[in-house]
């Protein structure tokens, strides 16, 4: 499994740093993001939540790349679980994929969650 951050790792050195990616940015390419509107840590936590969802559920949480319709549906209805999941596992995934970045579970909080303490 390869998770790439497209150059956002420097934000861990300065957690309040905000970046905005150019539209053509994608994993595996060097990109230069101007400092202005991207909070890397909540976005990275969301990506980890999606990866954990896929590993536990055997499928992606949505079928196509993000569009306004997909994002709206996700915000209104959340994730659809194919298989029964342990309550603790759901708490972690739902916390990491919370649509509101200010309420999203941090990576440290996720790692401290009882589900990861097994």
**What is the C-alpha separation between 7 and 29, in angstroms, rounded?**
9
Kindly report the average pLDDT of the chain as a whole number. 70
Question: With a threshold of 0.75, does the pTM exceed it?
Answer: no
Other beta carbons less than 10 A from residue 20's beta carbon: 11
Please spell the DSSP secondary structure of 46-85, one letter per residue: HHHHHHHHHHHHSS-SSSSS--HHHHHHHHHH----SS--
Which domains, and CATH codes, for the chain?
A: 1-38 (no CATH), 40-117 (1.10.510.10)
Kindly state the helix (H) or strand (E) to which residue 90 belongs, with its residue range. helix 87-96
Each residue's pLDDT tens digit, 37-82: 456 677 788 888 888 988 988 887 766 555 555 555 565 556 777 7
Residue 33, token pair as written in the block: 């993001």
């Amino acid at each position: 499994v390869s998770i790439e951050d497209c150059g956002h790792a420097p934000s861990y050195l300065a957690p309040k740093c905000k970046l905005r990616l150019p539209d053509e940015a994608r994993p595996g390419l060097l990109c230069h993001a101007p400092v202005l509107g991207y909070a890397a840590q909540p976005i990275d936590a969301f990506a980890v939540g999606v990866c954990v969802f896929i590993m536990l559920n055997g499928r992606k949480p949505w079928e196509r790349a993000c569009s306004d319709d997909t994002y709206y549906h996700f915000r209104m209805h959340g994730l659809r679980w194919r298989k029964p999941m342990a309550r603790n596992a759901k708490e972690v995934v739902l916390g990491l994929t919370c649509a509101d970045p200010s309420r999203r579970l941090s990576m440290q909080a996720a790692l401290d969650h009882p589900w990861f303490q097994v």
